[in-house]
Amino acid sequence: MNLFGLIGDPVGHSISPAMMNAAFRAQGEPAVYLPFRVDAGEVEIALGGLRAIGAKGVNVTIPHKIAAFNWVGSRTREAVAANAVNTIRFDQHGSVGHNTDVSGWWRSIADAVPEGPVDVAILGAGGSVQAILTALSMHRPEAVVEVIARNAEAVSRLQAHFADSLNIRHAAWEKRADAVAKAWVVVQCTPIGMWPRVDEAAIDDAGVFQPGQVVQDIVYRPLETRFLACARSGGARVIDGATMLIGQGVDAYEWWLGREAPADVMASTVYEALRKEQAL
């Protein structure tokens, strides 16, 4: 039985074990995926222990992605560009760090992002934003990206990191409605509207959104945030945050096992779990 898992703090809420174990069962893979809560400061010990007992790979979630980046023996292009590791593969050569937040986000939205110099608005400037900017730099380097955030210093760091690959501008949080209104693709990356504060929204005016816009909220509890409901009312095409979770899981599975993942099984498992939560 091959061991895979998830390390983070907390991990009890994660849907990843259900998603990955459903994928293993669907393909008759002799493997199990388990959650491991790991305290800050013990990431290196935990990863070393998992490698020592023969684990094949792990996902890494908040707050350990930087520690994992520093621990691994080598890193993929995506991990280096995102400056974080969320997926590790153990093998006879040691450990390789990857970032499937990058590829998973792109998988979730790629068919909706037109070619060429598309205008993109991103709300927030945290770690998920760096992964999204990495994907854009790889797949849509002509994009003009407006990062809408209160923390101008964080945006400046992103501008410096992607200076050679992406045109990034800063918009003040107070100007977010104007920035969103003129963008073709909008991605909401703050925790605003996440359960249990479901009545909150980064923008709650449907008139800000336009028909034909592509609007995603990476929050997936609830599946349709107030932000997405407003965007839908304004005529936008909306994409929920579960798509990114599923995309990164599919890419981790394929990177670990070298075979096509049962994406439909993984998606149905995630949506069923989330709908059950909402029904409680």
- One-letter identity of residue 156: S
Ordered DSSP codes for 98-140: E-HHHHHHHHHHGGGS-SSS-EEEEE--SHHHHHHHHHHHHH-
Tokens of 91: 């093998």
C-alpha distance from residue 76 to each of 89, 103, 179, 237 (Å): 11, 12, 33, 32
Q: Which residues are catalytic?
A: 65
